[in-house]
């Protein structure tokens, strides 16, 4: 990465062994305050023992009683989801995991998206499972399990080129899983080739046919993408940029190659080319806010200050539904664009918005930027006073 509640109402359902317990649908239910949360945490310890022993029938009523008392207790929702998943009650696992995601709001973690995705996949709702894994991947783009499972689900949902791209990324970042990944990657390439042939893209079909042969016969060898990554990691950005240029020429849908190419150009000081490569990547991955922020910053460094400012404004407007934390880095980059245009007051405001977003990666830099903006503002104010006095 480039630096610089919904509330609920009870719906009772019949469960195992004739028991009746309650889950929650949208409606009116008091939120669980800190005192109830603490009491729920204490009660959870007993239920957790049953979870550890895989005594699911005993764990469920205890977890449910906690949720009767504190409907937003995330640990109990996760435990309930796991219990139902293990018992094959996938619809109820989806309800529990879904609510665990919902009550956390912007603070939801990738593991909860992944758990919900697994429940959907077990229920054979592959489209929904894919959607949840994509959310998890946004938070953990290099996670081995997430990328492997997402690649399989891309393929199941017939998004074959995305399956190839995701499994390629998994193969390069997770060498310990290479033996499991390669057969699926080969299959994804074959499916992508067939799909491209059907729609008349014969050149792309031939490309995926070649990749299928390459991965199918691979036994510890390396791929063109791996060679480019190796060049980049060694610091040979000039060679890596040429290799990534060839990859995107062969496959304009290879988002990972565009992203790596943008980073190579950035390191080589080719800021305008870096911004263009980021733009190509973001056409394929428009929800990647960290890369959006990186693109805005290289646009500033390329002297494209007004365009960078407009890009930041549009990104915030388009993606505000992702939450303030997700777009925090865009506010930081927006501040850089405003500084570039000499609007120090607004730049300071945007750096402050970054600090308020909840993103913690660039906190020190943001405070430093705010201090610099204060110095510029103070200097300009004194300059105006001096000019007004005829100095």
- Tokens (6 digits) for 159: 């998004």
DSSP assignment string, 1-16: -------EEEEEEE-G
pLDDT in the model for residue 1: 57
**Tens digits of residue pLDDT in 345-372:** 999 999 999 999 988 889 999 999 999 9
CB 370 within 8 A of CB 351: yes
CB 49 within 8 A of CB 33: no
Query: What's this model's pTM, rounded to 2 decimal places?
Result: 0.56
Reply yes or no on whether the pLDDT at 19 is more than 80. Answer: no
**Tens digits of residue pLDDT in 159-169:** 999 999 999 99
**Distance, C-alpha 319 to centroid of its chain:** 13
- Tokens (6 digits) for 257: 């190659």
Residue with tokens 């796991």: 82
Q: How far apart are CA 212 and CA 222, in angstroms?
A: 14
**Tens digits of residue pLDDT in 179-229:** 789 889 999 999 999 999 999 999 999 999 988 888 876 534 456 777 888
Query: Could you tell me the domains of the chain?
Result: 5-108 (1.25.40.10)
Residue, of 3 and 35, whose pLDDT is higher: 35
**Distance, C-alpha 263 to centroid of its chain:** 18
User: What is the rounded end-to-end Cα distance, in angstroms, of the chain?
Assistant: 47
**Tens digits of residue pLDDT in 105-156:** 888 999 999 999 999 999 999 999 999 999 999 999 989 999 999 999 999 9
Q: How far apart are CA 303 and CA 325, in angstroms?
A: 27
DSSP assignment string, 100-116: HHHHHGGG--HHHHHHH
Helix (H, G, I), strand (E, B) or coil at 325: coil
- Name the CA dihedral angle for 105, 111, 115, 120, rounded to a multiple of 10 degrees: 70
Q: Which of 388, 374, 368, 373 has its CA nearest to residue 341?
A: 373
């Amino acid at each position: 990465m480039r630096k610089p509640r919904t509330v609920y109402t009870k719906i009772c359902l019949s469960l195992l062994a004739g028991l009746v317990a309650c889950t929650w649908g949208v409606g009116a239910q008091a939120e669980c305050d800190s005192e109830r949360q603490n009491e729920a945490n204490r009660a959870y310890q007993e239920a957790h023992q049953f979870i550890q022993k895989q005594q699911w029938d005993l764990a469920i009523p205890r977890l449910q009683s906690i949720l009767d008392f504190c409907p937003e207790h995330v640990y109990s929702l996760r435990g309930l989801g796991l219990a139902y998943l293990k018992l094959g009650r996938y619809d109820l696992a989806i309800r529990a995991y879904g609510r665990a995601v919902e009550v956390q709001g912007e603070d939801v973690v990738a593991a909860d998206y992944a758990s919900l995705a697994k429940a959907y996949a077990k229920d054979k709702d592959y489209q929904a499972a894919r959607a949840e894994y994509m959310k998890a991947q946004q938070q953990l783009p290099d996670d081995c399990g997430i990328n492997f499972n997402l690649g399989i689900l891309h393929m199941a949902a017939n998004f074959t080129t995305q399956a190839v791209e995701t499994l390629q990324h998994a193969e390069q970042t997770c060498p310990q899983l290479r033996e499991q990944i390669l057969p699926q990657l080969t299959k994804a390439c074959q499916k992508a080739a067939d799909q491209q042939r059907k729609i008349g893209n014969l050149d792309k079909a031939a490309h995926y046919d070649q990749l299928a042969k390459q991965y199918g016969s691979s036994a510890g060898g390396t791929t063109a993408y791996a060679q480019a990554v190796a060049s980049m990691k060694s610091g040979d950005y000039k060679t890596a940029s040429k290799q990534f240029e060839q990859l995107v020429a062969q496959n304009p849908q290879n988002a990972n190659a565009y992203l790596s190419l943008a980073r190579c150009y950035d390191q080589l000081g080719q800021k305008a080319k870096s911004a263009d490569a980021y733009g190509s990547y973001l056409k394929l991955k428009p929800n990647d806010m960290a890369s959006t922020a990186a693109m805005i910053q290289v646009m500033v460094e390329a002297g494209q200050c007004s365009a960078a400012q407009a890009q930041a404004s549009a990104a915030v407007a388009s993606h505000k539904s992702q939450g303030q934390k997700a777009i925090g880095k865009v506010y930081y980059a927006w501040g850089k664009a405003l500084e570039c245009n000499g609007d120090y007051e607004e730049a300071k405001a945007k750096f402050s918005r970054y600090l308020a977003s909840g993103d913690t990666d660039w906190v020190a830099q943001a405070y430093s930027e705010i201090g610099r903006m204060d110095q510029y503002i103070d200097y300009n104010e004194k300059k105006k006073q001096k000019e007004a006095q005829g100095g």
